[in-house]
Amino acid sequence: MEKLIIVKYGELTTKKENINLFINTLNKNVTEKLKEFSVKIAYDKGRMFIRVLDSRFSEVVEKLKEVFGIHEIIIGYELETLNLEEIKESIKDLVLEKEFATFKVETKRSNKKIPQSSVEISSEIGAFLLKKKEDIKVDVHNPEITIHVELRNKESYIYFETEKGLGGYPVGTLGKGILMLSGGIDSPVAGFLSIKRGVKLEGIYFESPPHTSIEAKRKVEELAHILSKYNGEMKLHIINFTEIQEAIYKSIPREYLITIMRRMMYRISSIIASRSNAKILVNGESIGQVASQTLTSMKVINEVVKLPVIRPVACFDKLEIIAFAKKIGTYETSILPYEDCCTIFVPEHPVINPDSKVCEEYETLIPYQELIHKAVKNHEIIKIGKQEKKDYEDIL
Ligand code: ATP
Ligand code: MG
């Protein structure tokens, strides 16, 4: 009898035409996630079987809880037999170590050559256990433990516990996206939600030194690091936005500062996306949250790019986003008090109903194409999540 982890895929098995892509990607992602452990991974169209060869079984289980595309994590035992007598003996050995008063047995039999029905097998095992362990009863409605037995081609599996996986799709199966990652609360949550749908992310961060500090940048790196737990290694594009921002500040009427600044961010993000072969932009905009997120603002800002812009938190209110950020572990970093480039240049009365024609007219006042070209040409790329976490504590 060998202890192992059985991974159930869940939702992805319903996508018949993509099933190989989904399962192969999941296998690749799990292999990458577990590379520091000594494990043996096997898989078929229904499940993945992970054998842990060192003593870090529960650590492996914890790591699997960070992998999208996993629906259920089962800690089970494999027997290389379909002989019911041997199976009953093994279950007895396992059950004698457990404390419980009520139980039920649930059998699945994918091997239809076995003559007994699942129900017959369950009741035979149940009757056997009642004779072997004192003070236990069968309760089919509300048992303290359920003994699962699965009979497959040549092997059988026994398990008691299942743990929920993250669900979603394996990262990468839906292609790539560029996450506009600021140091705020919203964009990391938006990132997490898009990773969940199988989108592999690269991040983009606009910094404006010396108006923004190195601490603000480190904070974004740290957020990317947290996201890379789910995303896998994440490229973070750092764009020096100072010249563009100063040009805007110098030449554009105050109320349009933010609208035009955001149009510039969108333009640059879209260039980075096409270079990285990403199909979408992702950001943390939420309808109505600030002046630049009214519907008119969103329309006027969105007009400068052709790519779809996905806003996973568009319809969440701030409290919902905060609750989410706490759950995924980004909140504590997001609330660290470092200014980002938007907050420094915020005018007192930003326009809430900007006009496209007015934007276009104002934009002729700055040589923005040239500035964008320069910012993209000189941008820095940081690879996040490949090595172990850097220690930012001295800075943050
Ligand atoms: P908050 O949680 O304070 O709202 P925020 O980062 O969402 O933080 P907004 O000004 O509302 O702040 O920005 C909307 C979205 O635009 C962000 O969620 C992010 O996706 C993108 N964004 C804003 N500033 C930057 C930046 N400096 N670099 C990259 N993306 C940014
Ligand atoms: Mg926001």
Residue 17 has a pLDDT of: 74
Q: 321 in ligand 1 pocket by Cβ < 6 Å?
A: no
Helix (H, G, I), strand (E, B) or coil at 254: helix
Q: 297 in ligand 1 pocket by Cβ < 6 Å?
A: no
> Mean pLDDT per segment of 10 residues, for the chain of length 396 residues?
91 72 94 95 91 94 96 96 95 93 94 88 96 93 96 93 93 96 96 97 96 93 97 97 95 94 98 98 92 90 97 97 97 86 70 94 97 96 74 42
Asked if residue 172 lies in contact with residue 200, where contact means CB atoms within 8 angstroms, the answer is yes
Q: Tell the residue nearest (CA) to atom 7 of ligand 1.
A: 186
Q: Tell the residue nearest (CA) to atom 23 of ligand 1.
A: 182
Give distance in angstroms: CA of 182 to centre of ligand 1. Answer: 5
- Candidates 165, 166, 161; CA nearest to 77 is 161
Give distance in angstroms: CA of 374 to centre of ligand 2. Answer: 27
Q: Taking the model in full, what pTM does it have? A: 0.91
Atom of ligand 1 nearest to the CA of 334: 2
* 114-123 contacts at long range (C-beta below 8 A, 24 or more positions apart): 114/82, 114/151, 116/84, 121/84, 121/149, 121/151, 122/149
Q: Tell the residue nearest (CA) to atom 22 of ligand 1.
A: 182
Asked if residue 7 lies in contact with residue 72, where contact means CB atoms within 8 angstroms, the answer is yes
Residue 343 has a pLDDT of: 62
Q: 281 in ligand 1 pocket by Cβ < 6 Å?
A: no
- Ligand (nearest to CA of 185): 1
Q: 181 in ligand 1 pocket by Cβ < 6 Å?
A: yes
Residue 387 has a pLDDT of: 53
